[in-house]
A = this chain, B = another copy of it.
Amino acid sequence: MIRIKVINPNTSPDMTASIDRIAKAHAPIGVEVVTTCPSAGPVSIESYYDEYLAVPNVLAEVQRDPHFDGFVLACWGDPGVDAVRETTIKPVVSIAEASMYAANAIAPRWSVVTTLARSHHMVEAIVQKTGLTARCASIRCLDLPVLACETDPEAIVTGLEMLSRQALQEDKAEAIVLGCAGMGGLDRRLSDRLGVPVVDPVAAGVRFATVLVEMKLQTSKWLTYRYPEMKAGGWNESLKS
């Protein structure tokens, strides 16, 4: 039995439940999925500020459960993914990368559509970090908050359909990547309307993590992701108090 821990880095119970639903629906036979979120932190991750406040608790989520076989970071902004990779040898998959790999195999160019206007350059940075800039046709953003995925899914679908059509017609995209963990379940509705494949990132993340676990591929500890040093006097608690 393979056990995958899916971590929603924000603390929204609704989004965690939604992610869990998709993750369980896509858990292959023989894979147990547990979805959690940090015990404290921002209810949504809509800025770098949110990201940096969320990550220490994300790291704690990983360290609490070292015996899981793999981890999925269920936020398209992949907050702290490099730090997570340092704290465990188990494979760590960001839903961003997994969804881009899936799109890359079925279309020459794809676009990322997402909610927050302000995340445009952040998404661009993640695509670049993954190495796939040359395959990304465009990034198109609504101007709706992340949690609207839970509260007003119809507005989200309508908006994403509009953005996707622009991507297909003006940017020469041929498939669509949903750029938010909260969009679970919208992939089929959108794909039906558009007539092109649409990738659900949580589904891709769970399935791709399973692939790595089954292949016994672990995070490389050669250089960058070596475990952090246990420094003598490595942590100061109250320099100023």
- B52 and A56 form a contact (CB under 8 A): yes
A217 at the interface (CB under 8 A from B): yes
Stoichiometry (number of copies): 6
A side interface size, CB within 8 A: 101
> Known: A106-B219, A135-B131, A199-B217. Contact between A228 and B50, CB under 8 A?
yes
- B87 and A49 form a contact (CB under 8 A): yes
Closest to A236 in B: B11
Residue interface mask A92-118, B partner, CB < 8 A = 1 = 110001100110111111000000011
- A48 and B121 form a contact (CB under 8 A): no
> Known: A51-B83, A97-B105. Contact between A239 and B121, CB under 8 A?
no
A26 at the interface (CB under 8 A from B): yes
A159 at the interface (CB under 8 A from B): no
- Which B residues are CB-close (under 8 A) to A41? 235-236
Quick one: which of A61-101 are within 8 Å of B by CB? 80, 82-83, 85-87, 91-93, 97-98, 101
- A197 and B223 form a contact (CB under 8 A): no
A162 at the interface (CB under 8 A from B): no
A142 at the interface (CB under 8 A from B): no
Residue interface mask A146-188, B partner, CB < 8 A = 1 = 0000000000000000000000100010110000000000001
- A56 and B53 form a contact (CB under 8 A): yes
A204 at the interface (CB under 8 A from B): yes
- Which B residues are CB-close (under 8 A) to A117? 223
- A236 and B43 form a contact (CB under 8 A): yes
CA distance A122 to B59 in the complex (A): 19
- Which B residues are CB-close (under 8 A) to A231? 42-44, 46, 145
CA distance A191 to B48 in the complex (A): 25
- Which B residues are CB-close (under 8 A) to A83? 47-49, 51-52
- Which B residues are CB-close (under 8 A) to A29? 28-30
CA distance A32 to B38 in the complex (A): 39
- A228 and B43 form a contact (CB under 8 A): no
Quick one: which of A189-241 are within 8 Å of B by CB? 195-197, 199-200, 203-204, 207-208, 211-212, 214-226, 228-229, 231, 233-241
- Which B residues are CB-close (under 8 A) to A107? 219-220, 222, 224-225
A125 at the interface (CB under 8 A from B): yes
